[in-house]
Structure 1
């Protein structure tokens, strides 16, 4: 199961969705201004990000049971398997801050 979780977390879009659910059990997910055109920081178009979100990332997370996704409203909530990945998400969230601090020193 760890390997599957690491594959899921390998993508920044999926990590962002899951870590946002650590703080808030449910919310609407949309790439920043995805419907307005333009490019994201990594050069990915907002339209491409929106398409990948709806057709790749959210379905993958929903299929794994980590989220529940309402396609009509865009609402995303913790799924029945979220508790299984939660400790790993917390480790990543806290460990990343520690990693950054160690790089600055």
Structure 2
């Protein structure tokens, strides 16, 4: 049985933050489970324009905390991902696959984000 698709307003809300757009774009590009560290690297590369190894430790910690406490729980609550906090693993769900065309259209409209988002 297929889940009910997300409301378009929910998709727009999820994509309102660039860190979430980058995380969603990385998941869409990779089509597999990713770690929080993978997503942190992608956000450092595409939003902060530096390799994760060159980010100041405080900024890196702040980014990981925002992923862990805000962005990933919000995406999980929508049903787009399963987030295993203990393992630091983020897995796209069937809902994610169903919504990928809408997500991709929004992500591609972001002129500040180079596509595809690669790790």
TM-score range, shorter chain: 0.7 to 0.9
Runs of 4+ residues deviating >4 angstroms? 93-97
Decide which of 16, 21, 24 is 2:22's aligned counterpart.
16
For the structure 1 residues 9 and 37, does the alpha-carbon distance in structure 2 shift closer, same or farther, using more than 3 Å as the test?
same
Indicate which of 8, 33, 36 corresponds to 1:26: 33
SS at match of 1:72: coil
> 1 CA distance for matches of 2:95 and 2:84?
17
What per-residue deviation string (whole Å, max 9, x for no partner) do you get for residues 58-86 of structure 1?
Answer: 00011110001111121111123213320
The Cα of 1:96 is off from its aligned counterpart by: 4.8
* Paired residues for 1:43-62 under 5 Å: 45-62=59-76
Higher relative contact order (CA closer than 8 Å, sequence separation 6+): 2
Task: Give the Cα separation in 2 of the matches to 1:4 and 1:14.
Answer: 13
Instruction: Compute the TM-score of the two structures, normalised by the length of structure 2.
Output: 0.65
The separation in 2 between residues aligned to 1:57 and 1:87, in whole angstroms, is 21
Aligned residues: 93
Which has the greater radius of gyration? 1
What SS class does the counterpart of residue 10 from structure 1 fall into?
coil
- 2:101 aligned with 1:87: yes
**Unaligned residue ranges in structure 1 (runs of 5+):** 101-105
CA shift, 1:29, in A, is 2.2
Scaled by the length of structure 1, the TM-score of the pair is 0.72
